[in-house]
Amino acid sequence: MTPLMEADDLAVDYQAPGRRVRALDGVDLTVARGETVGIVGESGSGKSTLGSAIGRLLSQNAQLSHGALTIDGESLFDLSAVQMRRVRREKLGFVFQDPIGSLDPTKRVGAQLRLALRGRGASLDVTGQLERVRLADPRRIARAYPHQLSGGMAQRVAIAMAMATEPELLVADEPTAALDSQVRDDVSTMIFALAAEAGTSILWLSHDLAAVGRRCGRVAVMYGGRVVEDGPASEVLARPAHPYTHALANSAPASAAPGERLQPVPGRPPVLTGPSPGCAFADRCGFAIERCRSERPRPVRIKAQSVLCHRAEELAGSAALAVHGVGSAVATTPPVPLGGDRS
């Protein structure tokens, strides 16, 4: 059976005057029907570009360099504008980061919800749709303008619009990042509940590894425009197989035991101007060797995970990549470079 979504060696560049930036540098990823996949990465890792590419929503200075992206077997970049609109209407749903900005500021909530529901077989009952996303007093909210709503309310409205048509894949790009921490959990819970009910797959983009790990079945970690580690959430979280995932897990506040010092990932994410010659993480990696800079890593299988790292097997054998607070008895010392020159 064809996967619902499949990215195959997808590479996307942004072209600015006199300057070219590679945002996706060969992404391989599949999402099966009903699956919930979390994509984790820092800003600049390419996760948002991947999310936009799935809806073909990239800004005009973005160019497909190579690779393919298919939804239900249809190659998105080969579709006509009309066909693409059909895919968006029938198969895809999107929720974005800025909840109030995602709503038209000049239209009442009810009016724009009705516009979004028109002619696609969804129930036109605006109050009912707002109740489904657990908004108290839906009538009042239907009459309100977006700027009169709180971020949480607006995001629920946006979710109602996206989920009303019961899409096959919901792409949620940091949907709770702009919300208060109290509503964050409620909104996430609701999205996953609605999706489970409708049989919708979820692609959840986030920078918060721990939060994603709690909700999604699978986690894919992105760095420098590639998926560097991909596997079951529990495995990736507890036993990261890529040094970057390891660093990320250790920088997350939730993973630290009380009194333990958080370890931020040292250095800054790279800005690629073309295909990375080696591993994009090499400059920030404590385990990098010469080969990491000169040769692009190919996926290797470490237990349940697929990992892009030359030294993955070697590291998996050692205790170097244990996560603090999870397997803390093993490694409380900072990772020591296992050799290789760091000039």
Partner 1 sequence: MRLFLWWLRRAVSAVATLAGVSILVFLALRAMPGGFAETILGPFASAEQQRELAERYGLDDSAFVQYWRWLQAAIGGDFGTSMISREPVASELGARLPVTGQLAVMAVLTALFIGVPLGVLTALRARPDGGGALGRLVSGLGVSLPEFVLGSIVVFVFSRYALGLSVGGYVPFADDPAGNLTAMILPAAVLSVFAISATARTTRDAVLNVLVEPYVTAAVARGESPAFIIRHHILRNAATPVVVLLSTITAYLLGGAIIVEYLFNLPGIGSYVVQAVGRRDYAVVQAGVLLAATVFIALNVIADLVVGLIDPRLGVTAEGRSM
Partner 2 sequence: MSGARPGDVSGDGTSGGGAPATYPSTSEERRGVRMRIAHLTGWLRRLDWLSRCGLFCLLVLVLAALGSMVNLGGDPAEIAGGRLQPPGPDHWLGTDNLGRSLLPRLLEGIGVTLLLSSIAVLVTAVLSTALGIVAGYLGGMVNNLVMRVVELLYAFPSIVLAILVAAVVGPGRPAAMAAIVLVTIPLMTRLVRTASTSVAQRDYVTSAVVSGVRLPRILIRHVLPNVAGTIAVQGTYALSVGILVEGGLSFLGFGVQPPQASLGVLIQEGGVYMVAAPWLIITPGVVLILAILSINVVGDGLRDRLEPRETRSLR
- The site for partner 1 (CB under 8 A) is made up of 15-17, 55, 57, 59-61, 85-90, 92-94, 96, 98, 101-107, 115-116, 145, 147, 158, 161-162
The DSSP bridge partners found for residue 218 are 37, 232
The residue type of 151 is G
Binding partner of residue 170 among partner 1, partner 2, none, CB under 5 to 8 Å per kind?
Answer: none
In the complex, which residues of this chain contact partner 2 (CB under 8 A)?
A: 16-19, 59-61, 81, 84, 273
Residue 57, sorted as left (phi over 0), alpha (psi -120 to 50) or beta, turns out to be alpha
Q: How far is the CB of 164 from partner 1 (least distance, A)?
A: 10
Interaction partner, residue 18 (partner 2, partner 1, none; CB < 5-8 Å by kind): partner 2
Minimal distance in Å, beta carbon 89 to partner 1? 3
- For residues 119 and 56, give the distance between their C-alpha atoms in angstroms, rounded to a whole number: 22
Minimum gap (Å) between residue 9 Cβ and partner 1: 24
3 state SS for 317-339: HCCCCCCCCCCCCCCCCCCCCCC
Distances, alpha carbon 331 to alpha carbons 83, 97, 289, in Å: 53, 37, 22
By the 8 A CB rule, do 1 and 23 touch? no
Q: Would you say 171 or 316 has its CB closer to partner 2?
A: 171
Q: How far is the CB of 106 from partner 1 (least distance, A)?
A: 5
Q: Which does 158 bind (CB under 5 to 8 A by kind): partner 1, partner 2, none?
A: partner 1
Q: How far is the CB of 60 from partner 2 (least distance, A)?
A: 5
Distance CA(146)–CA(157), nearest Å, equals: 9
Q: Which is nearer to partner 1, 104 or 186 (CB)?
A: 104
